[in-house]
Amino acid sequence: MNHGIAEIGIERTPCFGSCPTYTLIVKGDGTFRYVGEDSVERKGSFTGMVPTYDFNFLAQYIKESGYMDLADAYTIAVTDNPTVYTTVVMNGQRKIISNYANAGPKTLWAIEELIDHLLDKATWN
């Protein structure tokens, strides 16, 4: 696959309540780094592997979805909601998108969910 993506990541921030708070960075070789902070099953710093097939499939979807052309930030005028940061490194360029209270397009929401689901088949060290 010629998606040009070397890294995919997500960070979910706290909210007023019990929102899962963690950071996940997955590299093109399938290695990942995870830091769980609050309202998550795994708290602390972890590493592991996800299937490279799954990474490549998601990377191709991200490329085809036009992620690199999306706005850098989406927000709405509400309080106490979490922000989701996604990051993609494509062809050496890093793009970070801030999505407060799910204000962004549904494509961005889908990418966020798919990044989380990379952990479904993870092998944790």
User: What is the pTM for the complete model shown?
Assistant: 0.96
CATH of the domain spanning 5-119: 3.30.1560.10
Per-residue pLDDT tens for 25-68? 999 999 999 999 999 999 999 999 999 999 999 999 999 999 99
Check whether 122 has a pLDDT greater than 80: yes
Which residues does 88 contact at the CB level (< 8 Å), separation at least 6? 5, 7, 8, 9, 62, 67, 68, 94, 95
At residue 1, the pLDDT reads 67
The C-alpha angle with vertex 6 and arms to 62 and 97, in degrees rounded to 5, equals 50
How does the average pLDDT of the chain come out, rounded? 97
| 37-64 core/surface letters (b: 16 or more CB in 10 A; e: else) | eeeeeeeeebeebbeeebbeebbeebbe
Domain extents in the chain: 5-119
